[in-house]
Amino acid sequence: MLWCEEAFALPACKQANGPVYLDSCLEAFVMFYPQYTEKYLNFEVNALGTLLLQIGKGKWDRRFLTPPQDGMFPKVTNFQAKGKWGVKLEVPVLFVQRVYGITEAIDIRKVRANFYKCGALQGKEHYACWAPIVAPQPDFHCPESFQHVI
């Protein structure tokens, strides 16, 4: 579950895999199998609960993911309260194994991730991250900055 304290969040994106990062947005970038691949999933969610979901090895090697027929897909629940909003993201293990093409159990001790807050509300860009990123300009696609999340 991710929360942010934000007095004014006016999300506009209602289309799955749309540009939710232009709204006020909470994001989780997760590398579930770093022992086998550099691929990571980026879950980006606005205050409406609209999800952008991709997998790939870096910023330019991304593929959008959409719900399969069997419904095995991450579930997003959004919450709003006075002066804050948040999202709960439930990711089925079978979904992760399917998109990675790996049937081995996820070793939580090896999972690496970073969590972000971003937005461009009323022309006011803002960014925050859980683990520090060293980059000349804001860039969340920096898997070298992901940390273990035990």
Query: Domains in the chain, start-ordered, CATH in brackets?
Result: 2-142 (2.60.40.1190)
- Which residues of the chain carry a pLDDT beneath 70? 7-9, 121-123
pLDDT at 139: 83
Q: Which residues of 63-99 are buried (b: 16+ CB within 10 A; e: fewer)?
A: eebeeeeeeebbebebeeeeeebbbebebeeebbbbb
Task: Please choose, from the candidates 115, 116, 75, the residue with its C-alpha nearest in 3D space to the C-alpha of residue 95.
Answer: 75
- In eight-state DSSP terms, residue 97 is H
Spatial distance between the Cα atoms of 141 and 37, rounded to a whole number of angstroms: 15
* CA separation for the pair 60, 11 (Å, rounded): 25
* pLDDT for 150: 76
How far, in Å, CA of 51 to CA of 132, rounded?
24
Given this model, what pLDDT does residue 91 score? Answer: 96
**pLDDT score, position 24:** 87
Residue 7's pLDDT is 67
pLDDT score recorded for residue 136? 81
pLDDT at 122: 62
